[in-house]
Chains A and B, each alone.
Chain A
Amino acid sequence: MKPRVDVLGAGLFAAAMAVAPLFLNAYQVDVLNSIGLYALLALGLNLILGEAGLFNMGHAAFYAMGAYTAAILNTRYQIPVLWTLPLSGAVAGAFALAVARPVVHLRGDYLLIVTIGVGEIVRIALVNDVFGITGGANGIFGIGRPRLFGLVIRRPEQFFYLIWGFVALTIFLFLRLKRSRFGRALNFLREDEVAAEGSGIDTAYYKLVVFGLGAAWAGMAGTLFAAKMTIISPESFSFWESVVLFMIVILGGAGSIPGVLLAAFLVVGLPELFREFAGARMLVFGLVMMVMMVVRPQGLWPARGRQKWLAVSGKALGP
């Protein structure tokens, strides 16, 4: 039975991750933390790009919104950084809704260009110290360490459990979402927008809402990033961050949660293994993107779809 293999695999992976910090040094744990943050961001982007099929290449803008919201609230108003999590998500989500509303109807690659534009405008605004609160090109420093249940989180392995705990929660919630009415609507949208609308689905609403949701997740990831780094600056949210996230989703397999995790490990982790070739990293990525589209466009670990699960319930109900 395939589902049992899945559960077993997921369980083994979770167990391995849970004990990983015991066997790794601080640097290695820190790499895993980076992977976790990218996984978190890519899981959010996967809803927009993988499940709903909307080309978003400005995800870093929403990430930045969350990180700056957390940083500003923490440094100016001394609000504990983890408390800002919901608000950072809300700010990033609301921003995404406002931005996406007039453009979300655009055809695929135009939406892509517009989201690139939005990402750049946000970055330029941050560099130019918009409203005098973003600290310009230097960014914001002195963000407080997060506290959880009275414990101050500062060591990499502590962050590891914070970040990967959030990743685990995200996977759980998104898996449920994927199987729900909402998740199905996103897939209908991706497969054929006209047919979805013609089946009574308010496609404009779903496009907008999924943008907001994915962005809200990026915003929360931004909070974790700000808490981990204690310094944030515009260069962390460049266009290339959006490209890397886009790549993680596409290379892993659009709409596939295990695929996205795998790709996060490969895209973020592999360059750390081959540090002496760091200069060639992007070159290799570019080449991989081109080759993948020819030999394996569905991604490394494509989504299997729900037909198996549905076949079971369908048969159970049959005559």
Chain B
Amino acid sequence: MEEFFQQLTNGLAVGGIYALIALGYTMVYGVLKLINFAHGDLFTYGAYLGLTLLTSLALTDRLGFAMGVLVLALMVMGLVAVLGAILERAAYRPLRQSPRLSAVVSALGASIFLQNTLMLIYGPRFQVYPDNILPAATLNIFGLYLPLMRVLIVLVSVLMMVGLYLFIQKTKIGTAIRAAAIDQDAARLMGIDVNRVIMLVFLVGPALGGAAGLMVGLYYGQINFTMGWIYGMKAFTAAILGGIGNIPGAMVGGLLLGVIEALGAAYISIAWKDAIAFCVLILILIVRPTGLLGERVADKV
């Protein structure tokens, strides 16, 4: 039972990370009907920027752990958000009127470009987060000893998701985003600056993805320039699972996928861990392409 709860909480932490990345996919898809293949790589940039800033600025030494990580997170999110906006300008905006395939290819190109830029800067090997600045504390919750980072990840990711949800539902800008997602032309007629909405989506999504990257660095300690691809695929699976274009769906899908994967790895086979997510992806597209709560994806007349 202890083992089960350990796996369950681990799954929730990983799932929280998937969900944060999935939000970026889902928001972009909602507004542009485009799968932003480079989103996973923005997540990787979060992890690498986090590492570089952490070590070069020694934030935790100066400000203490909590304050240091908070400042670090804000910096990473800001920088990755800017990267996201640049990506939109460079790779997607010129193709707004082009056929779907062009945008897909450009997105893949951007992904390959971003990934290999990191590789040229940092080298192909795994990079390691320094372990001496992170508290190895565990929390005792109902007799269950959980690593502090795991609990923090779940809490922070849920907080961010709720924050985003409220932002989208309650604010005027959020309403504009929702309107643009339903019908861009109508939104434009209502005086909404759709370009700004798209830019905003490419700021917010990558910011969350960057935060997820930082969390992965802090949680696992090891990062690699290709990791965005597999995390991206899984986060995308999570977005599909919940129903693409649907923000609560991305949260539910992410957490669910994290748990499925953790339990599958523990009780079925660790070697097949990555295949589990892909099987979920294919099954959901066959059985219920709308996801648990979302839009239809098979072609309509």
Contact = CB atoms under 8 A, between A and B. Distances in A.
The reply to whether A and B meet directly (CB within 8 Å) is yes
Contacts of B34: 109
Contacts of B282: 103, 114, 117-118, 121
Contacts of B110: 286, 290
Contacts of A266: none
Contact of B115 (A103, A254, A282): A282
Given A287-B113, A289-B105, A289-B106, A113 B281 contact: yes
A182 interface: no
Majority secondary structure, B binding face? helix
A167 B236 CA distance: 37
**Which of B95, B108, B229 neighbours the largest number of chain A CB atoms within 10 Å of its CB?**
B108
Contacts of B95: 293-294
Interface string B82-112: 0000000011001100111111111011111
Interface in A77-132: 102-103, 105-110, 112-114, 116-118, 120-121, 124-125, 127-128
B141 interface: no
A107 B297 CA distance: 6
A205 B116 CA distance: 40
A109 B239 CA distance: 14
A280 B98 contact: no
Contacts of B1: none
B281 A289 contact: no
Given A108-B101, A121-B279, A293-B98, A283 B117 contact: yes
A193 B299 contact: yes
A102 B286 contact: yes
B94 A294 contact: yes
A110 B289 contact: yes
B109 A290 contact: yes
B173 to A, nearest CB: 27
Contacts of B275: 120-121, 124-125
Contacts of A289: 105-106, 108-109, 112
Interface string B20-53: 0000000000000011000000000000000000
A195 B270 CA distance: 47
A117 B281 contact: yes
B285 interface: yes
A166 interface: no
A55 B109 CA distance: 15
A265 to B, nearest CB: 20
A122 B115 CA distance: 24
A288 interface: yes
Contact of A286 (B100, B109, B269, B299): B109
A253 B157 CA distance: 44
A319 interface: no
A100 B117 CA distance: 35
A167 to B, nearest CB: 25
A280 B116 contact: yes
A259 B73 CA distance: 47
**Which of A103, A110, A246 neighbours the largest number of chain B CB atoms within 10 Å of its CB?**
A110
A55 B104 contact: yes
A39 to B, nearest CB: 20
B28 to A, nearest CB: 12
B123 to A, nearest CB: 9
B104 A283 contact: no
B122 to A, nearest CB: 12
Interface string B255-291: 0000000000000010110110011011001100100
Given A108-B104, A194-B301, 20 more contacts: A53-B101, A106-B285, A106-B289, A106-B298, A117-B233, A117-B282, A118-B278, A120-B278, A121-B279, A282-B112, A282-B119, A285-B109, A286-B113, A286-B114, A286-B115, A288-B109, A289-B112, A290-B90, A290-B110, A297-B98
Interface of A: 53, 55, 102-103, 105-110, 112-114, 116-118, 120-121, 124-125, 127-128, 193-194, 239, 243, 246-247, 250, 254, 279-280, 282-283, 285-290, 292-294, 297
23 contacts: A109-B34, A109-B104, A110-B285, A112-B35, A112-B104, A113-B240, A113-B281, A120-B274, A121-B275, A121-B278, A193-B299, A243-B112, A280-B120, A282-B115, A282-B119, A283-B112, A283-B119, A283-B120, A286-B114, A286-B115, A287-B113, A293-B95, A293-B98
Interface of B: 34-35, 90-91, 94-95, 98-106, 108-117, 119-120, 229, 233, 236, 240, 269, 271-272, 274-275, 278-279, 281-282, 285-286, 289, 297-299, 301
